[in-house]
Amino acid sequence: MSHSPQIKVAATYMRGGTSKGVFFNLKDLPKAAQVAGPARDALLMRVIGSPDAYAKQIDGMGGATSSTSKTVIVGPSTQADHDVDYLFGQVAIDRAFVDWSGNCGNLSSAVGAFAISAGLVDASRLPTDGVAVIRIWQVNISKTIIAHIPMSQGQVQETGDFSLDGVTFPAAEIKLEFMDPAAGDGDMFPTGNLVDELEVPGVGNFAATMINAGIPTIFLNAADLDYTGTELQTDINSDAAALAKLEAIRAHGGVRMGLFDHIDAAKQRQHTPKVAFVAPPQDYLSSSGSQVAAGQVDLLVRAMSMGQLHHAMMGTAAVAIGTAAAIPGTLVNQAAGGGPRCKVTFGHPSGTLTVGAEAKQANNGVWTATKAIMSRSARVLMEGWVRVPGD
């Protein structure tokens, strides 16, 4: 019996923020995978090692978590005044599925650096020393991201002393601006309300802020879920009943936000919406064992990603947090003490994060956001080729 030999595809393995994934230059993909469709999905799943009934991704590049089961495709921009197009694929771990419904804010921090190193940015726009400003078109959500990439001697500077909670080692700081972060062309608050009552049959009724900013997110009060907001991964991810409850909330909230026609559709859209719960500041120990004092933060936030409590905070969810915090009356704003604000520092399982956001209210009462700002870091972990069976 004959078997197809392995093929190799040029790729770069990168950390971006508190995530890592496999990055591809669009032109390096096999022809069939250079366009959206089953061939592309099949290739990316095989690269990552999915679907894996053991949920370990041993036979691929994935790390068996939502933060490490990720792929990125970068190519020349199809948009005026942009340097590159960036497409993000969240690969399911135990199912044959690639979710293209949203962005990854953490890996966004690595896109500019990858684009420069891959020769996708006009060299005349790059300083020998200083900061390169890279305009990225995020294809999944049709939004602009501006990355400020440090340069040294004509190369991307990856080393530095910027520390990011959730990442062990320091690196160079990369500033990101998420322009017009409200997702899609609809209202930032798809129900028209800053706070709704979300009915989840068999589970309960919950006050909820449902917002499209960065990524569609459903915010709940931690206390309404019988949580404190200080929970770590082990407190949630080992509790099957809690995971089922949070997934039911996500499914019904997605229908309420107009993302699904029926709750069953949530099974085919695991990446969005996100569910997060908030609480006022209090002392807690982070997952690394370090103390986070109540005085260090404006509020506490815990967020679910791909059915599990995230070990830190998704970058796109941080955009949603910052935007919602800037709007008086949302649950996020209330947890942070209320009133107008242009930035917020929140506690997450790995430590703290600060995000800024600009929001304004029109005469008709509709809220819009102009941009959200945060700092991350990124670096190349490995580069060369990934190999997959040719079939």
Task: Write out the catalytic residue numbers.
Answer: 104, 314
What DSSP state is assigned to residue 242?
H
What gap in Å lies between CA 156 and CA 160, rounded to an integer? 12
CB atoms within 10 A of CB 288: 11
Q: H helices within 103-230, ranges in order? A: 105-117
Q: DSSP 3-state assignment of 126? A: coil
Tokens (6 digits) for 238? 């080992």
Three-state DSSP state, 316: helix
Q: Encoding tokens for residue 289?
A: 């064992």
Distance between CA atoms of residues 189 and 268, nearest Å: 23
Instruction: Give, to the nearest 10 degrees, the angle between helix 315-325 and helix 105-117.
Output: 120
Alpha-carbon torsion, ordered 117, 75, 269, 51, to 10 deg: -70
- 3-state secondary structure string across 246-309: HHHHHHHHHHHCCCCCCHHHHHHCCCCCEEEEEECCCCEECCCCCEECHHHCCEEEEEEECCEE
Please compute, for residue 166, the number of CA atoms within 13 A of its CA located in the half-sphere on the CB side.
Answer: 26
